[in-house]
Amino acid sequence: MDITLQQVSYAYAKNTPFEKRALFDVNLDIPSGSYQAIIGHTGSGKSTVLQHLNALLKPTEGSIKIGDVLVKADQKNKHLRKVRQKVGIVFQFPEHQLFDETVLKDIMFGPMNFGVPAEEAKSRAIELSRLLGLPEEVLEKSPFDLSGGQMRRVAIAGVLAMNPEVLVLDEPTAGLDPRGRKEIMDLFYRLHQEKGLTTVLVTHSMEDAARYADRIAIMHDGKCVLEGTPQEIFENEERLLDYRLELPQCVKFQKKVEQMMGKKLPTICLTEEKLAEELARLMKEEREV
Amino acid sequence: MKSEIISLQEVTFTYTEEEKNIRPAVDNVSFTIYEGEWVAIVGHNGSGKSTLARLMNGLLFPQKGTVRIFGETLNEQNLWETRSQMGMVFQNPDNQFVGATVQDDVAFALENNGIPFEEMVERVQQSIEKVNMSSFMNSEPHHLSGGQKQRVAIAGAIALQPRILLLDEATSMLDPQGREEVLSIVRKLREETDLTVISITHDLEEALLADRIIMMNQGEKYAVGSPEEIFLRGQELVDLGLDLPFAMNVSRLLRDQGIELVAEHMSEEELVNDLWTSHFNK
Amino acid sequence: MLEKMIFGRYIPGDSFIHRLDARAKLIFVFLFIAIVFIANSWITYGVLFVFTFLIIRMSKIRLYFLINGLKPVVILIIFTFLLHLIFTKEGSIIFEWKFIKIYEEGLRQGIFISIRFFVLVILTSILTLTTTPISITDALEALLNPLKKWKLPVHELALMMSISLRFIPTLMDETDKIMKAQMARGSDMTSGSIKERMNAIVPLLIPLFVSAFKRAEDLATAMEVRGYKGGEGRTRYRKLEWATRDTVILLTLVVLAVILLYFRQ
């Protein structure tokens, strides 16, 4: 399912003394099956963009096409439910949305709201809890008795249980320890690859964007200021610095090594693994010469 | 000889409501922290590191063992005096902001300790300056970023001129920018004063700034040492759910690719130099 | 919708009204409430109306924002006006259509009550719009201080109020976030039968309570660590200062009262 933002502008509390423009003329194309990262500082408007992706906010100007539904300022809410089922959002600290008596019921909440039969919702919940590495006995516990990391997984399962076609992630690993962070990010990547799930990652982390995304959009002061493949984005260090953003550590390191050797690697390496591989190849070549 | 400032001796703590067959949150832990040190206590979530923080300022008392601060065993009698010497910053920036504005919040601990008005005004001003928040004196918390709120929390903690600053996962809910702000303020404070800093964290960058690292695992003290000593444990740390410094990670990956290095390097400079001398500079 | 409400919010500014001592403003509003009831004729209500507009001008708050933000209250005023218009049956009939009869006294009462309602709402709003919540709390604490003699926990009440005020924006944000998270999971709070809507509120309320309790717990810990042991032995960072202008504004009220008494029927 493609999502297209066309000249989207948004203002909070329009026509009051507290009016605040959050987005200016944002254009963004998220094709079906892609992994799009949206990067920016706090207050850059990236969270506002995120809420447009399943019509929680409607643009004050411009429009968004989500699949075959066109969302504009005067759109009636009725058609939007269909959109919400297809675009799942994992909000920042999603464990704050847990409420039901048992983990099982909480995971089933989403799908049942969209009319999925209880049996089907239950089997999805069981399958997902396995996928997310939750022990089976957890399903009958209260979500409030779990550890922070487990609560996070339950909340993520609750979104995945709706079987969305697009998954939007807002800093999904905030507050987790390094191991938890890696496990969750790898899981999302696996879902993206195996199920072809269109994924939108909203993040501060250049490293995560470099490692996982096909395309990166940079938000700054409510505008989408840069858009392209990771390679294209990271070639442009000066522009990133203009937006107070830094290159991923790996790319920075590559530049240091290149400077030292007086020679460029054939491509910008987006992960440490790739960098080590390229360096090793180069060294072997040097040796043979 | 450095003098002792905090010392834990065979401390064990179990949250009472839990069953007996569950392991203690902190299990027979001993260590000593010296005046003027920066010590990082690291460990994955649930390793007992936050419980340690609560034991050190008397929010919890151990079932076994003793906590000694400024040479005295912490007890109900000297609790308040101890707390006035120990500033603390918590994880959630929103949930520790008591005052209606920045300056009110910084003044809170001073008010509680009965500091006279004129001195209070001066100290509030100074503390806010130290964390570079002077232009936000009258701002309300919901207009500040997470990093700014944590800086205010630090100002509030140092306003009483404590000997110890205890950071309980103070950067874990911040964005990279906010984290950098907070850490650079702590670094600056350390340069200007002989403040003892104890930071409880799972952030690698924060741990690297410390003089010493105490590593916790499953409620037990797993290792103590300088950042170099700790991170040289390599795979062991990864297995315990922690990260390695970037340069070290790359060193290890290069070795896997069959490239020989002098050592596993902690800093990027060392790694670049090693690559240069051993492989290109021939 | 919540973001459009301006009732109970503060708009920073530097007008004469903004600079008044919060105690003066509080006393002013209380006295004004009493004085409003002196009015009972066209002239006296007219005077009240003009006085209110003068205060609005002095506060430099744009009338458009004031009216726009008070829309829900305006609806209430219109409703009261209609009630009086329809149900007061005194004086001569001035309008008749089928079974609806409107009496002269009904119209008069309707207009008077509406003006009274209107000026009260406007002036209390101006109090909150021009005074930071913390100053209002401080002023309340100062004014209630004599009641300490009768064991009223004035300090605790004031602290409670100031903390509640400080957390309102935080909790509003939180409500908005949780509501959106549940809407994204297909929960619908805006349509369906009353029963369905009630059911849809549970997934909002439970997380909200859980988080509020967590915040309260964290806050209590933070306060304890920062040495809070109740009001005793505490010094105060905030000092209220009474200036000439504060006396002046209260004197204008006395003048207003005299004028109203003079023109009263």
**If pLDDT is split at 50, 70 and 90, which confidence band does A272 have?**
very high
C54: buried, middle or exposed (CB in 10 Å: 19+, 13-18, 0-12)?
A: exposed
Residue C231 · residue C155 · CB < 8 Å: yes
Mean pLDDT of chain A: 91
Q: Which of B169, B181, B206, B264 is catalytic?
A: B169
Same domain, A24 and A122: yes
Q: B118 in a domain, yes or no?
A: yes
CB atoms within 10 A of CB C131: 21
For residue A267, pLDDT over 50 is answered with yes
Domain that holds residue B203: 4-234
Same domain, B219 and B153: yes
pLDDT of residue C8: 64
Domain ranges of chain C: 2-131+241-263, 146-225
Query: Residue B118 catalytic?
Result: no
For residue B18, pLDDT over 70 is answered with no
Q: CA torsion angle for C87, C91, C94, C99 (degrees, to 10)?
A: 40
User: B235 CB near a chain A CB, below 8 Å?
Assistant: no
Reading across the β-sheet that carries B26-34, which strands appear in turn?
Answer: B26-34, B4-13, B64-69, B72-73
Same domain, B106 and B134: yes
Q: Which residue has the higher pLDDT, A262 or C207?
A: C207
Same domain, A195 and A254: no
Contacts of B66 (CB under 8 A, 6+ apart): B8, B9, B10, B11, B73, B74
User: A42 CB near a chain C CB, below 8 Å?
Assistant: no
pLDDT in tens, B60-100: 999 999 999 999 999 999 999 999 999 999 999 999 999 88
Reading across the β-sheet that carries A87-90, which strands appear in turn?
Answer: A87-90, A166-170, A198-203, A35-39, A215-220, A223-228
Lookup: tokens for C158: 């004031």
Same domain, B152 and B27: yes
Give me the residue from C219, C227, C235 closest to B95, CB to CB: C219
Same domain, B189 and B278: no
Q: Provide the phi-psi class of A203: left if phi over 0, else alpha when psi is between -120 and 50, else beta.
A: beta
Q: Which of A70-84, B102-116, C179-193: highest mean pLDDT?
A: B102-116
pLDDT of residue C230: 82
A contacts of C207 (beta carbons < 8 Å):
96-99
Same domain, A186 and A267: no
Same domain, B87 and B165: yes
Q: B239 in a domain, yes or no?
A: no
The rounded percent of chain A whose pLDDT value lies above 90 is: 73
**Domain stops at, among A245, A261, A279:** A245
Q: Tell me the mean pLDDT in the region A170-190.
A: 91
For residue B1, pLDDT over 60 is answered with no
Same domain, B61 and B88: yes
Mean pLDDT of chain B: 90
Output the domain CATH number for residue B214.
3.40.50.300
Same domain, A63 and A203: yes
Same domain, B224 and B270: no
Q: Within 13 Å of residue A242, how many CA atoms lie on the same side as its CB?
A: 11
Domain that holds residue A160: 3-245
Helix (H) or strand (E) holding A259: helix A249-261
User: B177 CB near a chain A CB, below 8 Å?
Assistant: yes
Give me the residue from B45, B254, B280 closest to A276, CB to CB: B254
Output the domain CATH number for residue A58.
3.40.50.300
Q: B8 in a domain, yes or no?
A: yes
CB contacts < 8 A, A to B, total: 83
pLDDT of residue A9: 94
Low-confidence ranges of chain C (pLDDT < 50): 1-2
pLDDT of residue C1: 41
Q: Chains contacting C with at least 3 CB pairs below 8 Å?
A: A, B
Mutate which: A145, A150, A177, A284, vs B, most B CBs within 10 A: A177
The residue written with tokens 């064990």 in the block is B12
The number of folded domains in chain B is 2
For residue B224, pLDDT over 60 is answered with yes
Same domain, A32 and A128: yes
Longest CA pairwise span in chain C (Å):
73
Which chain C residue is nearest to residue A163, measuring alpha carbons? C185
Q: B145 in a domain, yes or no?
A: yes
Q: For residue A137, give how far its alpha carbon lies from the nearest alpha carbon of chain C (Å).
A: 23
Q: B36 in a domain, yes or no?
A: yes
A contacts of B177 (beta carbons < 8 Å):
41-42, 204, 244
User: A225 CB near a chain B CB, below 8 Å?
Assistant: no
C-alpha distances in angstroms, B15 versus A118, A138, B19, C223, C224?
38, 21, 9, 22, 20
Same domain, A282 and A156: no
C-alpha distances in angstroms, C61 versus A138, C77, C108?
56, 21, 30
Same domain, B219 and B264: no
CB atoms within 10 A of CB A212: 21
User: C145 CB near a chain A CB, below 8 Å?
Assistant: no
pLDDT in tens, A127-143: 999 999 999 899 999 99
The number of folded domains in chain A is 2
**If pLDDT is split at 50, 70 and 90, which confidence band does B40 have?**
very high
β-pair type (B212-217, B164-168): unpaired
**Domain stops at, among B213, B234, B255:** B234
Q: B240 in a domain, yes or no?
A: no
Which chain C residue is nearest to residue A167, measuring alpha carbons? C184
